[in-house]
């Protein structure tokens, strides 16, 4: 048993190796773990405090050449199993480029182990020291990363993320200066509610473990909240909301777009895949470690939106006017940003176009308004709850050319259109095309 990530990540229980939710989540409670402050203190005590004015000694190095090594098996489990990541409070990050980008951006990294092939230099900056350095053979690097080819210079790191799991919605509120919410609506339990802990062994030892667990969780969450509060903008103006997005590649791409387009935070509704899934991390370029992430129920989202003044928009594709039920049925299995509401079938009423919502919302954001964009799962789309509680918005497409867009493509377009960059790009394009008469789009010819 290993560290708890706090209540904000209990939605990860029961996820399979591909990042999707399994049939049922286990009811066990993770054993206590050192929070970041305790881990730093323990590492300093183990290494011995360096005298004032002297650099600390370098971390010890070890070598692993066998793919059957116990630590190699541990790393593979971190890559493949969401529950194992949650229980250990660790994740695996593959690739020196993403690691450098995270370090350069000031992401709060705690490197438990740095894995390098023989002769490869460390990609970590001077101020970021790993607890241990492990030299691994090429075969071991391939086994741990799950890749067919691994560059000799590529690093693999095991990160301590015990305090960086998705936050409970209350912590997200605190990070943006919003008041604590009232209790969840009757009949709708918070997304992070978990069954009672079922522990075996001596009762007295169990109580001690629980007390230590609570202390360490509080330490880790306080540090994580302080870090996010320092980085968070003054107000929550743009919130990306994902509902049951189960494909790690799509989820990671959406997180990457949210970070690139200046969105403030991401909220995960029930059913989403693990944002620390190896594929999601790779697709997000590490954005999951830089964006404030929280999880919540629909009731908690609505309360947050009301307190923050967020207009909730649901990405839902436009439908052709005058189309029949057969066209709707054909669209049901396609992967898209927000297919028809669940449960639709023959005889379903066709909806009118909702394409004006995006322009209105973009104008509201430009005038200082706030928006929450809700994106649904690839296969089933947005729930009836989302369609009932949000205003629908779609990306206009050429008639008859394509039925729908992938959720990450549509989400990226909508996030950009609702960002401050929209106006900047429009002004830049106007300047480039002004006076050209359409003769050439090459600025060098102007």
Predicted pLDDT at 429: 84
* Tokens of residue 394, six digits: 């779609």
Domain boundaries, the chain: 7-21+32-44+58-160, 167-182+228-427
pLDDT above 50: residue 197: no
Topology of domain 7-21+32-44+58-160, CATH: 60s Ribosomal Protein L30; Chain: A; (3.30.1330)
Return d(Cα 265, Cα 272) in angstroms, integer: 16
Say which range, 330-334, 357-361, 377-381, has the weakest mean pLDDT.
330-334
Rounded to two decimals, the pTM is 0.67
Q: What is the pLDDT of residue 60?
A: 74
For residues 12 and 438, which has the higher predicted lDDT (pLDDT)?
438
The whole-angstrom separation of Cα 258 and Cα 134 is 34
Give the residue-averaged pLDDT of 290-297: 93
Amino acid 343: pLDDT = 32
**Does 177 score more than 80 pLDDT?**
yes
Count CB-CB contacts under 10 A for residue 106. Answer: 10
Q: What is the mean pLDDT of residues 42-62?
A: 52
pLDDT over threshold 60, residue 350: no
Please give the angle made by the CA atoms of 166, 382 and 189, to the nearest 5 degrees.
50
CA pair distance 371, 33, nearest whole angstrom: 37
Which among 125, 193, 196, 200 has a CA at the least distance from the CA of 155? 125
For a pLDDT cut of 70, what percent of the chain falls above it? Answer: 61
Alpha-carbon 130 to chain mean position? 24
Contact (Cβ atoms closer than 8 angstroms) between residue 33 and residue 63: no
Give the pLDDT confidence score for residue 234 in this predicted structure: 74
Which of 5-9, 236-240, 422-426 has the largest mean confidence?
236-240
3-class DSSP string for the chain: CCCCCCHHHHHHCCECCCCCECCCCCCCCCCCCCCHHHHHHHHHHHHCCCCCCCCCCCCCEEEECCCCCHHHHHHHHHHHCHHHHHHHCEEEEECHHHHHHHHHCCCCCCEEEEEECCCCCCCCCCCCCCCCEEEECHHHHHHHHCCCCCCCCCCEEEEECCCCCCEEHHHHHHHCCCCCCCCCCCCCCCCCCCCCCCCCCCHHHHHHHHHHHHHHHHHHHHHHHHHHHHHCCCCCCEEEEECCCCCHHHHHHHHHHHHHCCCCEEEECCCCCCCCCHHHHHHHCCHHHCCCEEECCHHHHHHHHHHHCEEEEEECCCCCCCCCHHHHHHHCCCCCCCCCCCCCCCCCCCCCCCCHHHHHHHHHHHCCCEEEEEECECCCECCHHHHHHCEEECCCCCCCCCCCCCHHHHHHHHHHHCCCHHHHHHHHHHHHHCCCCCCCCCHHHC
- What whole-number distance in Å separates Cα of residue 350 and Cα of residue 168? 38
167 forms beta bridges with 294
Confidence check: pLDDT of 110 > 60: yes
What crossing angle do the helices spanning 421-433 and 356-366 adopt, rounded to 10°? 100
Better-predicted residue by pLDDT, 427 or 89: 89
Pick from 130, 386, 138, 47: nearest CA to 245:
386
Of 118, 140, 154, which is closest to residue 65 (Cα–Cα)? Answer: 140
Over range 22-48, report the average pLDDT: 35
Identify which of 389, 381, 316 has the alpha carbon closest to the alpha carbon of residue 352.
316
Distance CA(115)–CA(131), nearest Å, equals 11
Report the pLDDT value the prediction gives residue 19, as an integer from 0 to 100.
40
Supply the pLDDT for residue 224.
55
pLDDT at 29 over 60: no
Is residue 261 scored above 80 in pLDDT? yes
CA atoms of 103 and 123, how far apart (whole Å):
9
**When comparing pLDDT for 170 and 15, which is higher?**
170
Q: CATH: 2.60.40.1930, 3.40.30.10, 3.40.1280.10, 3.30.70.360. Which one for 167-182+228-427? A: 3.40.1280.10
Q: What is the mean predicted confidence (pLDDT) over 157-163?
A: 87
pLDDT tens for 363-418 read: 555 455 799 999 998 778 899 999 999 999 999 999 889 888 899 999 999 999 99
Tell me the average pLDDT of the chain.
Answer: 73
pLDDT of residue 223: 56
59-73, 186-200, 241-255, 325-339: least confident range: 325-339
Residue with structure tokens 């004032």? 52
Distance of CA 243 to the CA centre of its chain: 12
Is the pLDDT score of 9 beyond 60?
Answer: no
Lowest mean pLDDT among 49-58, 105-114, 177-186, 210-219: 49-58
Q: Over 60: is that where the pLDDT of 225 sits?
A: no
Determine the Cα–Cα distance for residues 363 and 357; give it in Å rounded to an integer. Answer: 10
Closest C-alpha to 176, from 393, 411, 372, 390: 372
pLDDT at 55: 52
Dihedral over Cα of 74, 80, 86, 90: its sign: positive
């Amino acid at each position: 048993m290993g560290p708890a990530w706090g209540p904000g990540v209990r939605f990860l229980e029961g996820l399979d190796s591909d990042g999707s939710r399994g049939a049922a989540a286990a009811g066990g409670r993770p054993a206590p773990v050192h929070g970041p402050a305790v881990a730093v203190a323990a590492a300093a005590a183990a290494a011995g405090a360096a005298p004032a004015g002297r650099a600390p000694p370098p971390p010890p190095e070890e070598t692993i050449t066998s793919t059957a090594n116990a630590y190699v098996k541990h790393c593979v489990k971190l890559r493949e199993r969401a529950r194992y990541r949650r229980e250990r409070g660790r994740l695996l990050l593959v690739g020196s480029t993403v690691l450098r980008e995270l370090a350069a951006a000031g992401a709060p990294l705690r490197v438990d182990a740095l894995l390098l092939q023989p002769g490869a230099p460390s990609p970590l900056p001077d101020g970021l020291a790993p607890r241990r350095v492990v030299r691994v053979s090429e075969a071991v690097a391939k086994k741990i990363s799950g890749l067919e080819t691994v560059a000799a210079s590529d690093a693999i790191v095991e990160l301590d993320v015990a305090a960086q799991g998705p936050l409970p919605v209350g912590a997200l509120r605190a990070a943006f200066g919003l008041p604590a919410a009232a209790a969840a609506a009757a009949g709708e339990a918070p997304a992070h509610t978990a069954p009672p802990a079922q522990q075996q062994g001596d009762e007295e030892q169990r109580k001690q473990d629980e007390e230590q667990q609570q202390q360490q969780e509080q330490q880790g969450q306080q540090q994580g909240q302080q870090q996010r509060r320092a980085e968070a903008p003054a107000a929550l103006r743009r919130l990306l909301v994902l509902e049951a997005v189960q494909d790690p590649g799509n989820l990671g791409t959406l997180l990457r777009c949210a970070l690139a387009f200046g969105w403030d935070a991401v909220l995960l509704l029930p059913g989403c895949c693990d944002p620390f899934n190896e594929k999601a991390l790779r697709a997000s370029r590490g954005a999951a470690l830089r964006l404030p992430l929280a999880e919540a129920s629909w009731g908690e989202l609505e309360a947050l939106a009301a307190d923050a003044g967020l207009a909730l928009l649901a990405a839902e594709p436009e439908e052709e006017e005058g189309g029949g039920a057969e066209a709707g049925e054909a669209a049901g299995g396609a992967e898209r940003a927000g297919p028809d509401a669940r449960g639709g079938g023959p005889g379903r009423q066709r909806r009118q176009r909702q394409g004006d919502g995006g322009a209105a919302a973009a104008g509201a954001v430009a005038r200082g308004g706030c928006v929450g964009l809700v994106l649904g799962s690839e296969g089933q789309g947005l729930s009836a709850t989302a369609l009932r509680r949000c205003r629908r918005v779609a990306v206009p497409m050429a008639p008859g050319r394509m039925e729908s867009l992938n959720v990450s493509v549509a989400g990226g377009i909508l996030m950009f259109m609702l960002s401050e960059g929209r106006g900047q790009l429009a002004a830049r394009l106007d300047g480039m095309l002004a006076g050209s008469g359409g003769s050439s789009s090459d600025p060098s010819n102007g």
